[in-house]
Amino acid sequence: MDLQLLSFAWEGNYVIANLIDHRANPFNPHVHAVFEPACHDNARTFDGTEFFPWDEAVQHPDYFIVQDQPNTTVREAIMRAERDWAIPVTVFVYDCEAKPLG
């Protein structure tokens, strides 16, 4: 199931661009969360321009490649994305026992 949460205001205060759910049971709140900048999604508008400009994100001081947070909850993962980064972030959630980054 893919759930998109779009929060628009890209002047520095917009964070969760997508929440991608890979859990076997979508009602289990306990997850392994993985975060990455939304520019990695390569999303495009109808006219083909980047939805989340790569060059703006890479130059931002909050830019990162990928981070994970095992043994958390969906709520905590969303709150971390809102609190820790001032760039659009995609949050992937997996079952707790999953090892998405190896």
Per-residue pLDDT of 15-40, as tens digits, reads 678 899 999 999 999 999 999 998 88
82: nearest Cα among 73, 72, 91: 91
Q: What is the pLDDT of residue 5?
A: 41
Q: What is the pLDDT of residue 52?
A: 82
CB-count exposure of residue 97 (10 Å: 0-12, 13-18, 19+): exposed
Q: What is the pLDDT of residue 94?
A: 96
Q: With residue 41 as reference, give the H or E element that holds it.
A: none
Q: What are the CA-CA distances from residue 36 to residues 20, 46, 66, 80, 81 (Å)? A: 11, 23, 5, 12, 9
4: nearest Cα among 89, 94, 72, 97: 89
Q: What is the pLDDT of residue 4?
A: 42
Task: Write down the pTM of the prediction.
Answer: 0.80
**Which stretches in the chain have pLDDT values below 70?**
1-15
Q: What is the pLDDT of residue 34?
A: 96
Question: Do 80 and 36 form a contact (C-beta atoms < 8 A)?
Answer: no
